[in-house]
């Protein structure tokens, strides 16, 4: 599974854990790191459904704070998911293997190739399935200024699709990505992003070249310089009438305190999410749903300084626990816990306040993630 570097209005990836040199904590580690060559400490996430342990994920780190191995086990101790990573002399990820007991490709192998400018220029992906292996690769090209110019995607040695990037300039500044879905030189649709003052997204559109449909997102700001978005409108058919509307409310500290959803574009509030903070960190999320009967879900978030201790989502009306993530650390430093797989990473959605990537500098992923 390749996570494309051009993220078109995808959910915001929260950088919750910084990176620093690890060391074993004073307390006992959460798992014996000696089982993994080169590992010096481990961290763990326990994922509970309905108050019962469902999965446990353990991260093994080397001295530089890089993930060497990630493993998920069921409450009974059965391994269901395993990731192993390798790095080059510069500390860049270059290999990864996945052993997967839950999906259709039980064994997968991935590689990354880098240029002298610290760009990933090629990735490979081998998936072993009962019916046979499949092989794909991606090639990434950059202009003289280091900006993305073109991505090529190959399946079993055949060019399957191309994405071409164009920086059109102007005010607002326009970034365009044309999608050639079969690599024949003709683009079937184009993504366009419009950035006011070259930094904040004010419009995004998908234009299908057959003229059948234009999909747009428009964003309005109460304070453009600070990036305080106040409203978002989604239009699925280009008729000028929004089909989905978001309203954002901000507190005095510049944090989003409420998001309202009009999911039919009829002016009627269907859902809302409220956020409460302490020391700038979210501690409470309240999600009200009105369009499917009255429902309310509450997420409590506990921290130890800058570290997450616990994220727990429950039904507000019954008090019944729904999902809980508990963090245990055998490393003294804050280290990444970000292997992008659900449900272990589902806590990030509970901590997300803005569902859009709006700042120009955040539009690309620097690293083409694969899993």
Give the DSSP letter string of 51-108.
TEEEEEEEEEE-TTS-EEEEEEEETT--EEEEEEEEE-TTS-EEEEEEEESSSS-SEE
Give the pair of three-digit tokens for residue 79. 């391994």
Q: Is residue 139 part of a domain?
A: yes
Beta-carbon contacts of 56 under 8 Å, excluding residues fewer than 6 positions away, are: 44, 45, 46, 47, 72, 73, 75
Q: How many CB atoms lie within 10 A of CB 310?
A: 15
Contact 95, 74 (CB under 8 A): no
Question: Is 21 within a domain?
Answer: no
User: In terms of DSSP H, where are the helices of the chain?
Assistant: 347-351
Q: What is the pTM of this model?
A: 0.87
In sequence order, the 6+-apart residues with CB closer than 8 A to the CB of 117 are: 142, 146
The secondary structure of residue 33, as a DSSP letter, is G
Residue 80 within any structural domain of the chain: yes
> Dihedral through CA 234, CA 237, CA 242, CA 246, nearest 10?
-20
What domain range is 158 assigned to? Answer: 33-362
Distance CA(62)–CA(38), nearest Å, equals 6
Nearest to 17 by CA among 67, 63, 51, 56: 67
The pLDDT value given to residue 131: 87
Residue 23 lies in a domain: no
Residue 118 lies in a domain: yes
* Within a domain: 13: no
What three-state secondary structure class fits 163?
Answer: strand
Per-residue pLDDT of the chain (371 residues), as tens digits, is 555 554 433 333 333 333 344 554 433 335 555 689 999 999 999 999 999 999 999 999 999 999 999 999 999 999 999 999 999 999 999 999 999 988 778 999 999 999 999 999 999 999 998 889 999 999 999 999 999 999 999 999 999 999 999 999 889 999 999 999 999 999 999 999 999 988 999 999 999 988 777 899 999 999 999 999 999 999 988 788 899 999 999 999 999 999 999 988 888 999 999 999 999 999 999 999 986 678 999 999 999 999 999 999 999 999 999 999 999 999 999 999 989 888 899 999 999 999 899 999 887 777 889 98
pLDDT at 111: 98
Asked whether residue 291 is assigned to any structural domain, the reply reads: yes
Number of domains in the chain: 1
Q: CA angle 14-265-289, nearest 5°?
A: 60
| In a domain? residue 19 | no
């Amino acid at each position: 599974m390749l996570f494309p570097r051009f993220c078109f209005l995808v959910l915001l990836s929260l950088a919750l854990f910084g990176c620093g040199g690890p060391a074993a904590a004073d307390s006992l580690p959460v798992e014996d790191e000696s089982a993994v060559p080169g590992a010096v400490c481990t961290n763990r996430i326990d994922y509970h459904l309905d108050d019962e342990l469902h999965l446990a994920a353990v991260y093994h780190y080397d001295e530089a704070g890089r993930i060497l191995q990630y493993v998920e086990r069921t409450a009974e101790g059965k391994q269901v998911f395993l990731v192993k990573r390798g790095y080059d002399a510069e500390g860049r990820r270059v290999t990864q293997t996945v052993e997967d007991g839950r999906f259709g490709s039980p064994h997968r192998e991935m590689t990354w190739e880098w240029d002298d400018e610290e760009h990933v220029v090629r990735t490979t992906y081998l998936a072993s399935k009962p019916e046979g292996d499949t092989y794909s690769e991606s090639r990434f090209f950059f202009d003289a200024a280091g900006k993305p110019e073109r991505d090529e995607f190959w399946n079993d040695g055949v060019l399957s699709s191309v994405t071409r990037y164009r920086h059109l300039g102007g005010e607002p500044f326009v970034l365009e990505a044309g999608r050639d879905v079969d690599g024949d030189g003709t683009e079937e649709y184009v993504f366009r992003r419009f950035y006011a003052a070259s930094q904040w997204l004010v419009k995004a559109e998908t234009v299908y070249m057959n003229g059948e449909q234009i999909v747009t997102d428009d964003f309005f700001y109460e304070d453009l310089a600070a990036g305080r978005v106040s409203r978002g409108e989604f239009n699925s058919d280009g008729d000028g009438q929004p089909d989905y509307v978001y309203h954002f409310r901000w507190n005095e500290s510049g944090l989003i305190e409420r998001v309202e959803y009009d999911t039919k574009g009829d002016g009627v509030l269907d859902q809302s999410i409220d956020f409460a903070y302490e020391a700038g960190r979210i501690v409470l999320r309240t999600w009200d749903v009105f369009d499917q009967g009255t429902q309310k879900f509450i997420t409590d978030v506990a921290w130890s300084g800058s570290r997450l201790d616990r994220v727990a989502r429950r039904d507000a009306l019954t008090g019944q626990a729904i999902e809980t993530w508990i963090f245990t650390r055998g490393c003294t430093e804050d280290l990444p816990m970000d292997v992008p797989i659900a449900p272990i990473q589902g806590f990030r959605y509970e901590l997300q306040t803005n569902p859009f990537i709006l700042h120009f500098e955040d539009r690309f992923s620097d690293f083409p993630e694969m899993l």
